[in-house]
Each structure stands twice: as C-alpha cells, then as structure tokens.
Chain A
Amino acid sequence: MPVMMRIRGFFSKLFGKRRSRVGIYGPPNAGKTTLANRIVRDVTGEAIGPVSEVPHETRRARRKEGVEINGGGSKLRIDIVDTPGVTTKIDYHEFLEYGMDQDEAVARAREATEGVAEAMHWLREDIDGVVYVLDSTQDPFMHVNIMMVGIIESRKLPVIIVANKIDLPDAAPQRIKSAFPQHPIVMVSGLEGNNMDDLYARITEVFR
C-alpha cells in the first residue's frame, strides 16, 4: 500500500474520515459508464447513467455515494464518480456521422469540452483514487493515456488499470499489461460482467 494511503488511513481512523471518492477515468468510449453501471447495479440494482455508442455520452461527472464493495473477503464503502471521457480534441463533425443535425452536434461538442475540463478539475481537487478504464481493442499507448496515468502518478493517487471489453474477439488486454507494468491491471467485461470479482477484490485492497 502506498505511503500516502497509509498516512491517510491512520488519520481517517483517528478523526473519522469521509468515504474515498474513486473516479472512473479513461478515453471516450472505453466503457466507463457501462463499468460504473455494472458496479453500482451489482450493489444497489440501480444505474449511474445512460450509455451510447456515440462518443461523449457522459458529459457531466456523476457521483454515486456509499457504494459498498465486497471483494477478497473484505468490504469497503466508497463514492463512485463516473467522469466524461478525456481527450485532447473534440470535433463536432464527428457527431454528424451519427445522424445529429448541426446545432445538436455543436451543442454536444460544447458540453463535451466542458465535461473534459470538469473531469480534470475533479482529478485535481476531489478524487482519492482512480479506476482507469481502457478498451482492450485499442492502442493503450495513445498519448492521452500516457498523460493521464502520468498525472495520476504525479498526484500520488492509487490507481487500478482496467482492461475492459475482453469479451470482444479482437481484445488484446496483454498490450495494456505491457503498457503499464507498474500498476495493477484487471481484465474485465463491464458489459458481460466477466471477472468483476477480481476487480472488486482489487478495489477493496488498493483504495482501503
């Protein structure tokens, strides 16, 4: 366990700490909200937000409080924050390809840019740990991933890397493992619910 987490744990026991806020981060369309819904549904039966094949469906951070995670023989109560996909570029023309009219596409792009800035603000101010979600069918070395993991490391936040969408035939989660050997990797399908117990065990271990 990182030193900072131990120190936080000591003071939380001493003074009665608030629950940890765990942010679900990653690039657009990595399956963040699908995974957040899976976690929250497994515990409460509710969803945290809608999902879509159109990128940037999540354009505001959404928080679910007091989610009790059971894994690896222990329990942990956390707040889960599902965040908009992080990217360095948003072009409204991309949304036109999904049948939106121009006004709708421009509005979505504007909301998406605000959403990315909001996600970064949460990371700077209000997040205690990160589940970083990657699509196993995509190149994990995209700069935005290298940058985000670098930012998370520089803030000394505990992190779990999730190799998502392992149910897809062209999934290659081993690439993610080789890209981030310094962090725990869990291979799951948020959609199908595969290997979620492994993720829950890691969450109770890493974010305690």
Chain B
Amino acid sequence: MIHGVQIDMLSSDRLGRMTSMEKIRLILDDVRQGYIVVLEKGLTPEEQGKLLETTMMEISPDGFSGIEIETYPSSKNSEGGLLSKLFGGKTQSGRLMVIGPVEQLKLLAREKDRLIAWASAAQ
C-alpha cells in the first residue's frame, strides 16, 4: 500500500459552478481530512476572508490548528493599471492556489512565478 497524501485538484470549471460557501465547505472538509487542495482558479478576496473566518471557528485543540494557504504574489504588471483602478483590483484574483492543513503543508520558497511547498501525510 502506498502511504502518502491525497491531493484534490479542482478545475476552474467546477469552481465556477459552486457558490462561495460551497467552495469554502469543500476546502475545509478536504483539509480537515488531511488532503491538500489545489484550486486552478483561486478564491476572490471576499471568499478568502470568509475562509479565514470559518477556519478560525473550526480550530480546536484536539487536532485542527488551521490552514496553510499559498498563491503566487500579485503580478506587478496588473497593479495600479487602468483596469485595476476601474475594477477595484479584481483583475488580480484567480491565480492558482494551494491550501492544506498547517501540520502537513509547509511553504519552502516563494518566487513571483514559482511556489515550492512540502507536504506530508497525516500522522
């Protein structure tokens, strides 16, 4: 039997059919089972705020300490431009996002176009 960590990769098509709360519930249910979740299209700022609040409500001393969440830093080319000003920065959302249990996912390095993370199986 292979010992490892399950990775759930969710396409932007699937994410596009889900409501914000459905996405958050799916992510947290997966993460609490020890899975790593990869979103082809990242959450909007509003959704990230809701994910953070929901995560805080579910942290407990007997096993769940929160999430590690990583994405590429914003592209400087998309910041401060006319489109960004017109649409309030919403053009910056939508980059690939990796979310996992904090006990199992560690970011090793972050560059503008590369993330290096280390994942371990649940204990």
Give the residues in chain A near B66, CB-CB below 8 Å.
Answer: 87-91
> Nearest-CB distance from B106 to chain A (Å)?
11
A86-B52, A120-B53, A150-B89 known; A92+B73 contact, CB < 8 A? no
**What is A's interface to B at a CB cutoff of 8 Å?**
86-92, 106, 109-110, 113-114, 116-117, 120-121, 123-124, 139, 141, 143, 146-147, 150-151, 153-154, 156, 179, 181-182
Cβ–Cβ contact A120 & B49, under 8 A:
yes
> Nearest-CB distance from B120 to chain A (Å)?
16
List 14 interface pairs A-B (beta carbons < 8 Å), by A numbering.
A88-B102, A89-B65, A89-B67, A91-B65, A110-B61, A114-B56, A123-B49, A139-B110, A143-B71, A146-B71, A147-B52, A150-B93, A182-B80, A182-B84
Cβ–Cβ contact A179 & B73, under 8 A:
yes
- How far, in angstroms, from A89 to B69 measured CA to CA in the complex? 10
Does B59 have its Cβ within 8 Å of any Cβ on chain A? yes
- How far, in angstroms, from A201 to B90 measured CA to CA in the complex? 29
Nearest residue in A to B81 (C-beta to C-beta)? A182
Nearest residue in B to A109 (C-beta to C-beta)? B61
**What is B's interface to A at a CB cutoff of 8 Å?**
44-46, 48-49, 52-53, 55-57, 59, 61, 65-71, 73-74, 76, 79-80, 84, 88-90, 92-93, 102, 110
Give the residues in chain A near B88, CB-CB below 8 Å.
Answer: 153-154, 156
- How far, in angstroms, from A51 to B89 measured CA to CA in the complex? 34
Cβ–Cβ contact B79 & A151, under 8 A:
no
Which one, B52, B76, B84, B93, contacts A88 given CB within 8 A? B52
Nearest residue in A to B90 (C-beta to C-beta)? A154
Nearest 10 CB-CB pairings of A with B: A89-B66, A150-B45, A91-B65, A154-B45, A153-B89, A89-B102, A151-B45, A113-B56, A182-B80, A117-B56
Cβ–Cβ contact B79 & A181, under 8 A:
yes
> Nearest-CB distance from B2 to chain A (Å)?
28
- How far, in angstroms, from A91 to B104 measured CA to CA in the complex? 13
Nearest residue in B to A178 (C-beta to C-beta)? B76
Give the residues in chain B near A179, CB-CB below 8 Å.
Answer: 73
Nearest residue in A to B55 (C-beta to C-beta)? A88
Give the residues in chain A near B84, CB-CB below 8 Å.
Answer: 182
- How far, in angstroms, from A113 to B65 measured CA to CA in the complex? 10
Which one, B57, B71, B102, B110, contacts A113 given CB within 8 A? B57
Among B52, B55, B74, B102, residue most surrounded by chain A Cβ atoms (within 10 Å): B52
Give the residues in chain A near B48, CB-CB below 8 Å.
Answer: 147, 150-151
- How far, in angstroms, from A110 to B58 measured CA to CA in the complex? 10
